[in-house]
Amino acid sequence: MKKAIFITLIAISAQTALADYHYASHEGSNEYPYTSWATAAHLIQDAVDATDPHDTLYIGSGDWYQYVATGVYDSVALIGMGTDSTFCYNVPDSVYVFVIDYGCSVENITFSNDTNGACIRARVFAGVLINNCRFAYSRTGIGASGYPTIITNCVFDNCARAISAYIWEGDFFISNNLIMYAYDGWAMYLQVYSAIVQNNIIISTPGVVVSAMLSGQIDGEVVIRNNVAVGGRGGIAVDAQWKYNNTVYNTGFVNQYGMLIDYNDSLFNNSITSCGEPLSVRDSCYFSYNNLWDNEHDPSFDLFINPVGNISVNPMYLSDTDFHLQAFSPLIDAGHPGYLDVDGSRSDIGAYGGPYGESYIYQDLPPAVPDSLSGEVVGDSIILNWRYNTEADFSSYLLHKDTLSGFEPTIFNLIAEPDTSYYEDTGILPGQNYYYRIASLDNQGNISDYSEELAVIQTGVWNGMGVEPPRITTIKSNYPNPFNSQTTIIYSVANLGPIPAQINVNIYDIVGRLVKRLVDERKEVGVYRITWDGRDDSGSECPSGVYFARIVQWDLGFLGRHQKLVLIR
């Protein structure tokens, strides 16, 4: 099928290069048959009517408010002067801008349509080529129902649906398109017999009901590869035999999937991160050499047929908008060993790996800036916590302290280089205010930017220690996190109800089952620490996975929050 699609693409391009040329321009003299810019037609439709099969029509710069329809089997090439020069809009009483037939191609034009129709409508059974066009603020960019249909190098900006197709036979090839902010159900909705959808970037707006990719009832061979899907309520939802080397990121909603899996699908080399539910599994499938990271609920790999090579690691993308991999990313050369990158090495996991990916230089960037820095006076110490860096090449932190706000980190105020996201500063004086900043360091010596300044202000006196009492009962943090053998959980008890207060701190697994009772006793107001050794109430080691610590005071669980604990054996 893939070979046939490319042969057809070449054939259509060859057809459009034959025969005569015609022109439409606002500056022409409107002389039939419009064979030069000087004699160009004032109406695109007049120029279309003058063409014979396989002719080429050039459309001049400017705004065109016209409905255009090619004849049956015209095989005409309609070529604008560029997406920043030729603009075509719908007219009243027309739901389409262009209606094209078999063998036609459209290139280098920007379209917009404020009706419920499409910018380009391909007639039933009409195979077409649409290349290097832009579709902006329209209900539908392209409505296609023919074969073969080839859509390449197009930009879809704020279209309710970028591409719709309803055809039960024939081939679709959709490649190298950018779809931004589709807002009505799906960026693409294809009900087709067979298709290759590759190298597309789909960016959706979180909070809008949209799936970033593809849906439909598929009977033939469908391949979804090397696509990036970002945001929205879902990532890639398609009944496809092959889904590989895709990147799905931040679908934005709890309980919304990153990728749908159906019966006997084969998925490998995909990276799914920061989603609600990374996978929606309808039936048994093959799922190997994929990366699932930082999702709300990662599934058990027991759901899949002979899963191998799956990992759960920080992919180390260049940024949250550029999903190429950094140097030392654990996704490099971690894909299917029988599937090679463009440079002949073992494939990377993600959208730029495999033979349809890219060969590029991996940039060695500094680690992420530490965030969520917090501090609290506990006794004669200040306890500092922050979000732990998870890059594969992370080494340690640079922690600075001063008694003046607005200080610059230097070697003279560097107080520690911890390798965990916790530090206990014992060098403090009662009543003195302190200010902290922190940066992260990797194994190559790259240093991140410094965090925002944290102020620890001792403004009141409580229990003789110069500390304000906790205002809420909560799990404050745990360190280290992730952890292997044990982690220390810090929690606070507020002055709520009778004191000492009945406090319970429990550990639950990802499905809400009670694993370990850590604290079940009366506690005075204050801040406390308790260690969990990764074992359940029976003393057995818990498996690797995500767990949650929960605190309740006098059976009022709503007073606190859940703390996510990551156990790695």
Q: What is the pLDDT of residues 366-376, one digit of tens each?
A: 999 998 888 88
The CATH number of residue 559's host domain is 2.60.40.4070
Q: Do 158 and 193 reside in the same domain of the chain? A: no
Q: 149, 172, 195 — which closes off a domain?
A: 172
Q: Is residue 350 in a domain?
A: no
Q: Do 305 and 269 reside in the same domain of the chain? A: yes
Q: Do 396 and 446 reside in the same domain of the chain? A: yes
Q: Do 55 and 159 reside in the same domain of the chain? A: yes
What DSSP letter does each residue of 144-177 carry, written as one string?
E-SSSEEEES-EEES-SEEEEEE-SSSEEEEES-
Q: Do 197 and 320 reside in the same domain of the chain? A: yes
Residue 246 domain boundaries: 181-338
Q: What is the mean pLDDT of the chain?
A: 84
pLDDT band at 282 (very low <50, low <70, confident <90, very high): low
Q: Do 447 and 483 reside in the same domain of the chain? A: no
Q: Is the dihedral of CA 316, 319, 325, 327 positive or negative?
A: negative
Assessment of whether the complete model's pTM goes beyond 0.85: no
With 0-12 / 13-18 / 19 or more C-beta atoms within 10 angstroms meaning exposed / middle / buried, residue 436 is buried
Contact 247, 229 (CB under 8 A): yes
What DSSP letter does each residue of 232-294 carry, written as one string?
SSBSB----SEEES-EEE---STT-EEEEE-TT-EEES-EEES-SEEEEE-S--EEES-EEES
SS3 (DSSP) at 49: helix
Q: Is residue 461 in a domain?
A: no
Q: Is residue 355 in a domain?
A: no
> Which has more pLDDT, 492 or 360?
360
SS3 (DSSP) at 208: coil
Q: Is residue 522 in a domain?
A: yes
Q: What is the pLDDT of residues 531-558, one digit of tens each?
A: 999 999 999 999 888 898 999 887 765 4
Q: Rounded to an integer, what distance in angstroms lies between the CA atom of residue 134 and that of residue 109? A: 6
SS3 (DSSP) at 453: coil
Q: Is the dihedral of CA 405, 406, 412, 415 positive or negative?
A: positive
Amino acid at site 327: A
Q: Is residue 109 in a domain?
A: yes
Q: 172, 203, 222 — which closes off a domain?
A: 172
Q: Is residue 351 in a domain?
A: no
Position 255 pLDDT exceeds 60: no
Q: What are phi and psi of 116, to 5 degrees?
A: -85, 10
Distance of CA 357 to the CA centre of its chain: 17
Q: Rounded to an integer, what distance in angstroms lies between the CA atom of residue 385 and that of residue 399? A: 11
What DSSP letter does each residue of 79-139 carry, written as one string?
EES-TTTEEEE--TT-S-SEEE-TT-EEES-EEE--SSSEEEEEPTT---EEES-EEES-S
Q: Which residues have CB under 8 Å from 288's CB, separation 6+?
A: 267, 268, 304, 306, 307, 308, 309, 310, 336
> Which has more pLDDT, 430 or 85?
85
Q: Do 155 and 297 reside in the same domain of the chain? A: no
- Nearest of 194, 199, 307 to residue 247 by alpha carbon: 199
If one counts the domains in the chain, the total is 4
Q: What is the pLDDT of residues 289-334, one digit of tens each?
A: 999 888 877 666 666 777 899 998 999 999 988 999 999 999 999 9
Q: Do 411 and 275 reside in the same domain of the chain? A: no
Q: Rounded to an integer, what distance in angstroms lies between the CA atom of residue 493 and that of residue 26? A: 76
Q: Rounded to an integer, what distance in angstroms lies between the CA atom of residue 204 and that of residue 258? A: 13
SS3 (DSSP) at 47: helix
pLDDT band at 220 (very low <50, low <70, confident <90, very high): low
Q: Is residue 258 in a domain?
A: yes
Q: Is residue 166 in a domain?
A: yes
Q: What is the structure's pLDDT at 234?
A: 63
Q: Do 214 and 252 reside in the same domain of the chain? A: yes
Residue with tokens 């993308």: 317
Q: Do 68 and 90 reside in the same domain of the chain? A: yes
The CA-atom distances, in angstroms, between 173 and each of 3, 151, 176 are 11, 6, 10
Q: Rounded to an integer, what distance in angstroms lies between the CA atom of residue 248 and that of residue 213? A: 10
Q: What is the structure's pLDDT at 531?
A: 92
Q: Rounded to an integer, what distance in angstroms lies between the CA atom of residue 559 and that of residue 504? A: 12
